[in-house]
Structure 1
Amino acid sequence: MDAGAQGAFEGGDRPGAPAVVLVTAPDLAVGRELARTLVEERLVACVNLVPGLTSVYRWEGAVEEASEVLLVMKTVRRRVAELERRVRELHPYDVPEFVVLAPEHTGARYLAWLIAETA
Structure 2
Amino acid sequence: MTNISLIYTTTPTYEDAYHISNILLNNKLIACANIFNNITSVYLWENEIHNNNECVIILKTTNNLVQAATNKIQEIHPYDTPAIITIDPVNTNDKFTHWINDCITL
TM over 0.5: yes
CA-based RMSD of the aligned residues comes to: 0.9
Distance, in Å, in 2 between the alignment partners of 1:84 and 1:95 is 13
SS of the equivalent of 2:101 reads helix
- Whichever residue aligns with residue 89 of structure 2, its letter is P
Q: 1:70 maps to what in 2?
A: 56
Gaps of 5+ in 2: none
Q: Alignment partner for residue 87 of structure 1, among 32, 51, 73? A: 73
Which among 23, 27, 39 is matched to residue 13 of structure 2?
27
- Tell me the SS of whatever aligns to 2:80: coil
What letter matches 2:38 in structure 1? G
Unmatched segments (≥5 aa) in structure 1: 1-9, 12-16
Give the drift of 1:103. 1.1
- Map of 2:38 onto structure 1: 52
4+ residue segments displaced more than 4 Å: none
1 or 2, which has the higher strand percentage? 2
Separation in 2, partners of 1:81, 1:87: 10
Residue 63 of structure 1 deviates from its aligned partner by 1.0
Equivalent position SS for 1:82: helix
Q: Percent identity?
A: 25
Tell me whether 1:99 sits opposite 2:60 in the alignment. Answer: no
Give the C-alpha shift of residue 109 in structure 1. Answer: 1.1
